[in-house]
Structures are given as C-alpha cells and as structure tokens.
C-alpha cells in the first residue's frame, strides 16, 4: 500500500472547486469532496489504476476521471502524490508537472 500525499496545489484546487459548487449546493460540494477523497484512497491500493495523462505521456503521471474533473497524480516508489484536481474543460499545462513537488 502506497502512502497518499496531497500537494498544496491539489488541496487548493479542492477548496476552490468545493467552494464554487457550494454556492449552489453545499450538499453536492460535500458529495463531490467525498468522491474525490475516496478515489484518492483507492489509488493508495491500486496506484496504476488511472490512465496516463494524454498531454504528458509519462507512465508515472496518471489521472482518474470523476465526472467533469480530472484527479492528476504521480506514482513514486512509496507514494501516490495527488498533484491537482482539474475541471476537464480547462487546458492542462503539462509543464507544471515536470519536476517533483
């Protein structure tokens, strides 16, 4: 089982997304957060279960799709690092994931 690490960027992404959803529905914001955290926990058990990010094409940087959102993470020898949570309509800058967080 890999250790699960959330980067500051990923935490800030989650906070911004949940605040946005909560303006219309606090309950749906809570459900969204639960879905993302559950998916991330599964990654600690099955780190290679996500697909390789198409814009990056590196085997160690993967993503899980949850509705309109992409949970992007990096696999290391002992960790799964959640790097970002993106809305799929946003353009992804592949260079932001070039170096270790």
Look at residue 99 and tell me if it is in a domain. Answer: no
For range 49-59, the mean pLDDT: 93
CB atoms within 10 A of CB 54: 9
Percent of the chain having pLDDT more than 90? 85
**Integer distance in angstroms from the first to the last C-alpha of the chain?**
21
pLDDT at 44: 92
- Residue 84 β-bridge partners: 72
Strand 3-6 and strand 79-87: the pairing is parallel
pLDDT band at 71 (very low <50, low <70, confident <90, very high): very high
- In this structure, what token pair is assigned to residue 5? 């690490």
Distance of CA 89 to the CA centre of its chain: 15
Which structural domain range is residue 22 located in?
A: 3-90
Look at residue 96 and tell me if it is in a domain. Answer: no
**pLDDT tens readout for residues 29-51:** 999 999 999 999 999 999 999 99
Report the CATH number that the domain containing residue 30 is assigned in CATH. 3.30.2310.20
| Alpha-carbon radius of gyration of the chain | 13
């Amino acid at each position: 089982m890999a250790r699960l690490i959330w980067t500051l960027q990923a935490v800030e992404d989650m906070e911004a997304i949940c605040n946005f959803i909560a303006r219309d529905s606090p309950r749906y914001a809570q459900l969204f957060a639960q879905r993302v955290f559950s998916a991330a926990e599964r990654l600690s058990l099955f780190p290679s279960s996500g697909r390789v990010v198409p814009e990056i094409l590196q085997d160690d940087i993967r993503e899980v799709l949850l509705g309109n959102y992409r949970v992007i993470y990096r696999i290391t020898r002992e960790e799964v690092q959640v790097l970002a949570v993106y809305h799929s309509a946003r353009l992804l800058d592949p260079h932001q994931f070039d170096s270790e967080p």
